[in-house]
A = this chain, B = another copy of it.
């Protein structure tokens, strides 16, 4: 029993955050009340605003508070290359790690017929219409190397070829700095099978 119903309600509400159970929620609530009231107030405002105003870019389906996100509306990006990712987090990872200057398309999921997620739910009709315009030359299919991600990649590659667009996929193999001994068997088998000749 807490000494404050409002505090109980706050702890309860904090549990909607991923990875936060009763104990962490308690610690967070106490921390905010004891030492971070200003931060807590700011978080309340930002949360309310983001939940209300952040929608999806109508072109790439990533999060955006304007109809077109800054990347899709940037004239500096190369519209001939389109990279498909499953989630906004994947898009951010690519944008942060690589020097990619093309555009993105965020599926917000992957094909999963058993869960009722088909091409339409992933916006693939919109994507097909975009490929049909002929403005895209290469489609980089960066779905995850999981079973469902690979199935989605296969579907997307066929869709691309059907519109005369060249599909590609990021290379799979040993991670840089990793050790053979600790690499999972699937990755090692794949890397071994797709070995490349050392040219010089």
Contacts and interface: CB of A to CB of B under 8 A. Distances in A.
B3 A50 contact: no
Interface string A28-57: 111111101101111111111111111001
B28 A63 contact: no
Given A28-B17, A30-B87, A89-B26, A6 B70 contact: no
Identical copies in the complex: 2
Contacts of A9: 46, 49-50
Given A28-B18, A30-B87, A51-B32, A46 B3 contact: no
B13 A39 contact: yes
Interface in A70-109: 70-71, 87-89, 91-92, 95, 108
Given A34-B108, A54-B33, A65 B4 contact: yes
Contacts of A14: 43
A4 B46 contact: no
Contacts of A133: none
B19 A33 contact: no
Given A4-B63, A54-B33, A95-B1, A16 B44 contact: no
A85 B113 CA distance: 55
Interface of A: 1-7, 9-10, 12-14, 16-19, 24, 26-34, 36-37, 39-54, 57, 60, 62-65, 69-71, 87-89, 91-92, 95, 108
10 A-B pairs closest in CB distance: A16-B39, A3-B69, A44-B47, A44-B48, A13-B46, A10-B50, A13-B43, A40-B51, A18-B31, A3-B62
